[in-house]
A and B are shown apart, each in its own frame.
Chain A
Amino acid sequence: MTTTLLEVDDLRHTYRTRQGDQTVLDGINFDVQRGEFVSIVGPSGCGKTTLLRTLSGLLRPTGGTITLSGNVITGVPKGLAMVFQDYRASLFPWRRVGANVEFPLLGRVSKAERRARTLESLSAVGLADAADKYAWQLSGGMQQRVAIARALAMRPELLLMDEPFASVDAQTRSDLEDLLLRVREQFDMTILFVTHDVDESVYLSTRVLSLSKAPTVKTADVPVPLTFPRDQIHTRENPSFVETRSEVARLIRQASPGGLAAAAGAH
C-alpha cells in the first residue's frame, strides 16, 4: 500500500530579468509516493535546480502548487532535508564535523537526543570517528558523507538531493551511491534525486522522471524494473538496467537535440 508524500501540480516558474521574462518551468506535474526513490534527469540548463529550489521552499514558484504530506508548501516545509551539490559551500568550516551534523537540531531537540542522533547519522555514513575533525580536513567524498549525515540527523520524510555526487571522482561516486541506498533502507526515507547522469539515475531509483529543456515540462515517467539491493556490477549488467538506461538516454536526446544531450548520455 502506498500513500502520496509529494504532489506537484502544474508547477511554473518565470524569472524576471532585464532581458525580459524567462520561463524555466512550464507546468510540471508529478507525484511521489512514500518510500520511492525518484530521480529527475534532463539536459543541462533545463531547470532541475529551479525545480528543487521550489520544492525545498527556497524559491517561491510563480505558479502551481506543491503539496507535501497534504500541506501546500509556502515556505521551507518541515520534514524535508536537502543535500547540495557543493558540499564545500554547505558545511561550515568553523564547526567540527559532529557540530555540523548537529547544527539543524540546535534549539529543537535535547542535548542528549542531539548527541545520539549525530552519532547515529555519522555511523550510518561510516564517519563516527571523524566527529572531532574539521570538514576541510576530510576528502571530498567524506565531506559529502558529512552533508548526508547532517540531512539524516534531521530525520526527514523527504530528502532532496541536488546533483550530490557531481563533484567527486568515479570510484567515490559509486561508493556514495551504494551508501545512499543503504541509509535509505536504514532511515526509511523517500528520496528525490536530481542528476545529469543517466546511469546513476537508473541505478539508484525506483522511477526516473525526464525533463525537457527550458521552458521545461516532464517528458516521461519511467519506472525502473529492478529489485533492491542493487549491486554496482550485477545490476549494471542486468538486461532491464541496460534497456531502461537506453530508454532514458534516448528521451534526453529527444528533449535536447544537439551535442549536449549526447554528451550527457555518453558516460
Chain B
Amino acid sequence: MSSTVQPNERMLRIAVGWCGALLLLVAWQLATANSGSMFFPTPLEIFDDLRERWFSDGLAGGFLTDAFFVDVTPSLRRLLIGLLVAWSVGISLGVLLGRIPAVAHTVEPILHFMRALPGPVLLPLALVLVGTGTTMRVSLIAFGAVWPVLFNTYSAVRRVPEGYLETARTAKVSRLRTLFQVILPAASTGIFAGIRVSTSLGIILLIASELVAASDGIGFGLTQAQRSFQLLPMVVHRRSVAARLPVQPRLERDRVRRSALAPAPDGSPGLTTPKGCR
C-alpha cells in the first residue's frame, strides 16, 4: 500500500530540486564571468537585461514594460488558445475513439498518417492556406499539439478497467455520469501525460511560427535580435521560452498523486509513459 508523502518530506524534495537548479546557475556564472566573450553572457547579465526589457516599468503598469506586451503576451495568447483547442479536440476525439471501436477502426489509420506530418513542415502550407495572422499560428499549434493528447486519451480510455465500468453499470449510473465520473478520472493520468507533451510541442510550434512573417511575439523578438546581432536579447528570448517549461509538471502532479500512485487494478504500475514524444 502506498501512503501519502509527508509534508516535510515533500518540502525537502522541492528544496533539493531547487538546489540543483541553483548549483547549475552558480556554475554558469563562474564559467562565464571571466570569459570576456560576448557570445557567453553571464546569467546575471541575462537576468538584468530580462528585468529591464520586460519588468522595469512603474508600479502603475504592474512593472510590465511596453516591450513585454509586444514580445510576450501575444505569444502567450497564441499558445494558450492553440493548446486549448488541441486539448479539447484531442480529449473529445480520444474518448470517442476509445469508447467506440468502430470509429477507432475507421479513423485510426488516417490519424496516424496525419500525425506523422511534423508541425513545422506544415508552416509553409499554413501560410498559404490561412495567411500570416494569429489564426495561422494558433491553428499550427493546435494541429501539432493535438496528437499526443488524442493518442494518450485514446489509449487511456481503452485501458479503463472493465471492473470500473461494470460497477457503474450495475449501479445504473447514467452514461454521462459514467463518462465524467468514471472514464475521465480513470483515464486522467494518461490524458495529463498527453497534455504535458503537447505543451512542449506547442511552444516549439509557437516559436517556429513566429520566426516567419510575424510582427510581435517571442519568436519575432528572437529574429529581430539575431538580425541586429544583439546577442544578449537573443539569449533572453531563448531563456524566456525555456523558463516556461518547468511550470507544466505542476499541472499534473496533483492528479498523478491522487490516482496513479494507487496501484492500477491490473497490477501494472500506475504511471503512464507519455506517448507521441518526438
Contacts and interface: CB of A to CB of B under 8 A. Distances in A.
Given A89-B161, A94-B258, A58 B166 contact: yes
Interface in B165-203: 166-167, 169-174, 177, 181-182, 185-186, 188
A56 B163 CA distance: 14
Contacts of B133: none
Contacts, number: 73
B169 A76 contact: yes
A194 to B, nearest CB: 15
A78 B172 contact: yes
Contacts of B169: 57-58, 76
A181 interface: no
B265 interface: yes
A107 B4 CA distance: 31
B124 interface: no
Interface of B: 1-4, 161-164, 166-167, 169-174, 177, 181-182, 185-186, 188, 258-259, 262-263, 265-266
Contact of A88 (B2, B186, B259, B263): B263
A104 interface: yes
A106 B186 contact: no
Interface stretch (A26-34, A79-87, A216-224, A238-246): A79-87
A88 B265 contact: yes
A106 B266 CA distance: 27
Size class of A's contact patch?
20 to 34
A137 B185 CA distance: 18
18 contacts: A58-B170, A80-B170, A82-B170, A84-B163, A84-B166, A84-B167, A89-B266, A90-B167, A92-B185, A93-B258, A103-B167, A103-B173, A107-B173, A135-B262, A137-B3, A137-B4, A138-B1, A154-B171
A19 B162 CA distance: 24
A136 B263 CA distance: 8
